[in-house]
Homo-oligomer: A and B are copies of this chain.
Amino acid sequence: MTIRFSPIGTVHTRETKLPRHCSVSNVEGALEIFKEYQEGIKDISAGDRIVVLFHFHKSPPFTPGLLHQTPPGRSRAKGVFSICSPVRPNAIGMSVLTVLEIRENIIKVKGLDMMDQTPILDIKPLAPGSLPVEKDRE
């Protein structure tokens, strides 16, 4: 079964050295939401934290040998579903970003750990609540 998605926007950042995880990132940049989806971001405001799902578009194809990977700085290989490697069976990334400003279809954000030109798949709300997300991308 193949499931098809199309990007709703694109990440823009001048930074080329990106941190391994958004929770340790101060990198600023912009999410350009394509005009046809602009109405969908009307309730996002400066100060909000948002969950952004994106495509790891530069990842090599996944092969069975990558079911175990040794994260940078670690000594032991771990199962791919216990780490945040960009090389995974479905190359979907997830980041939590802070909204700095919205202007028309552009969301300025802080906390980027995505590369310039990364295709954005979805944005979901995040509110003060219950569930912690891991701090260290492995």
Contact = CB atoms under 8 A, between A and B. Distances in A.
A110 B104 CA distance: 40
Contact of A79 (B39, B129, B138): B39
A3 B119 contact: yes
B132 A130 contact: yes
A67 B41 CA distance: 9
Contacts of A127: 132-136
A67 B88 contact: no
A36 B7 CA distance: 28
Interface residues of A, number: 56
5 tightest A-B contacts by CB?
A: A127-B134, A43-B82, A131-B133, A81-B123, A129-B135
Contacts of A8: 89-90
A67 to B, nearest CB: 4
Contacts of A119: 1, 3
A3 B2 contact: no
A20 interface: no
A53 B92 contact: yes
Contact of A53 (B37, B53, B55, B67): B53
